Amino acid sequence: MKHSANVVKRASVAVAVAAAAALIGAAPASAASAGMIDVCSYGNYATQVEFPNRGGFSTWIVSPGSCQSTWIGYGRVNEPINIYGFFPHKVWLRGATFCGAIGGFVGTYGSSSANWVAVPARC
C-alpha cells in the first residue's frame, strides 16, 4: 500500500509541475498574432501607433485602460513605427519597429510626467 501512495503522490507532483510550466509558457492575453498589432494603453493617457512608411497610416486612438488589435499584414520586416501619447495633445513617445511576420504588442504605461513604452520584438 505504501508503494501505491508514493506513485499517486509523484503523479500529483508531476501534474502540478506540468500545469505550472504550461501557465508560465502561455502567451499573455495581449500577445498579437502574425500580421496584427495589439496596442494597450495602461497609463492614464490615450495611445496611438503610426506607420510612417504607409503614408502615415495609424491605429485608432486607444483610450486609457483599454487595448485594441489592428490588422497590419504579414509582408514587412522591421517596419518603423511611431508611438504617441495624448496628454491631451498628441506627443511623440518613441520610435520602434514592427514585424508583420510575428505580429507585435505596444503597451504604454505611467502618466504624462513619467511614461514608458513596451515595444514589439524585432524579426
Asked whether residue 1 is assigned to any structural domain, the reply reads no
Range of the domain at 68: 29-118
* CB-CB contact of 25 with 37 (8 Å): no
Listed range (5-19, 20-34, 52-66, 72-86) with the worst mean pLDDT: 5-19
CATH of the domain at 58: 2.60.40.1430
DSSP three-state, residue 85: strand
Could you tell me the pTM of the whole model?
0.74
Tell me: pLDDT of 31 over 90. Answer: no
In percent, how much of the chain has pLDDT > 90?
A: 65
**Counted domains in the chain:** 1
Residue 4 domain flag: no
In a domain, 110, yes or no: yes
Q: Cβ of 45: how many Cβ atoms within 10 Å?
A: 22
Q: Do residues 79 and 51 make contact, with C-beta atoms less than 8 angstroms apart?
A: yes
Asked whether residue 103 is domain-assigned, the answer is yes
Contact yes or no for 111/43 (Cβ under 8 A): yes
- With respect to residue 23, please indicate whether it lies within any of the assigned structural domains: no
Asked if 120 and 106 count as a contact pair (C-beta separation under 8 A), the reply is yes
Q: How far is CA 49 from CA 15, 38, 73, 88, in A?
A: 42, 10, 15, 16
Cell readout for 79 is 517596419
Residue of higher predicted confidence among 62 and 9: 62
Q: Is residue 9 part of a domain?
A: no
Give a yes or no: residue 35 inside a domain. yes
Q: Please check whether residue 45 lies inside any domain of the structure.
A: yes
